[in-house]
Amino acid sequence: MKSSLLLLGIPVASAAVAPRQNYFSFGNYFSTGAVATNSWIRQATTTLILPALNSPHNGNLGLWPGMGTKFGSGADGHLIQGLAISTVGFGSPCNLAANENKWGAKLMVLRHTEQILVTVLHMTYNDATSKFDQTVSVNGNVVSTLSTASGHGAGWGTAMECQQVNCGTVPLHHYVDTKIIMNTADPNYSRTVATLGASGNLVTADGGKTWTAADITIQQYTFT
């Protein structure tokens, strides 16, 4: 499935929350990019402090930070992302019993945890392999890793994605300690920020090589 929403203003593949069915919608977001033509994103790290589950607990919901990429040829690359997902019903990815209701976390490899409070998502370009190495840590424990040949980072942002049926109301939540490191300084990168129902200040102390946001607040959103 394809979406031109959220990241970079370029087409990117949407989150793999579940196969696309009757309902498909995005909520609030904080988006940055595209990068300057002479630079690219080498590393991106953020910490998602998860809210309560969506209410009513419907549909397949994904909260995720992601990075759109481009290849050296100029062709659009991939969307690399770490997801916190809320699914419904026995046998769904995060609920192993009929009465379970909890967040799950994944890159492409799914791992289960008893309780998720803080999810740290880290993406860094590996010069030795020319791949992006991705790590998801939950409450201080690494739960998923993945390396992909996806080109260079072209923009970073967050998303709130609902599939299958209306996901109800998603509470306010925060991404904290966000850091984006460029390959070469991009002093105007903060001008690319676009938001919907979100706030946060992207700042640099080294002329645009490193950008940080202490807190990105994503406001409550109700899918209809």
Q: Reduced to 3 states, what is the DSSP secondary structure of residue 189? A: helix
175 Rama class: left (phi>0) / alpha (psi -120 to 50) / beta:
beta
Report, as an integer, the average pLDDT of 101-123: 62
DSSP secondary structure string, 50-109? --SPPBS--SEEEEEEEEEEE-TTS-EEEEEE-EEEE--STTSTT-SSTT----EEESSS
pLDDT-derived band of residue 117, with 50, 70 and 90 as boundaries? Answer: low
Most confidently modeled of 10-19, 53-62, 144-153, 173-182? 173-182
Letter for the amino acid at 206?
A: D
Can you give the pTM of this predicted structure? 0.85
Tens digits of residue pLDDT in 157-194? 999 999 989 999 999 999 999 999 999 999 999 999 99
**Burial letters 10-46, b for 16+ CB under 10 A, else e:** bebebbbbbeeeeebebbbbbbbbbbeeebbbbbbbb
Give the C-alpha separation, 10 to 213, whole Å. 23
Instruction: Indicate the average pLDDT of the chain.
Output: 83
Q: Reduced to 3 states, what is the DSSP secondary structure of residue 26? A: strand
Q: Across the chain, how many H-helices and E-strands are there? A: 0, 21
Dihedral angle over CA of 97, 101, 106, 109, nearest 10: 10
Letter for the amino acid at 56?
A: P
Report, as an integer, the average pLDDT of 186-209: 98
Fold for 21-222, please state it: Jelly Rolls (2.60.120)
Give the C-alpha separation, 65 to 169, whole Å. 19
Q: Is residue 6's pLDDT more than 50?
A: no
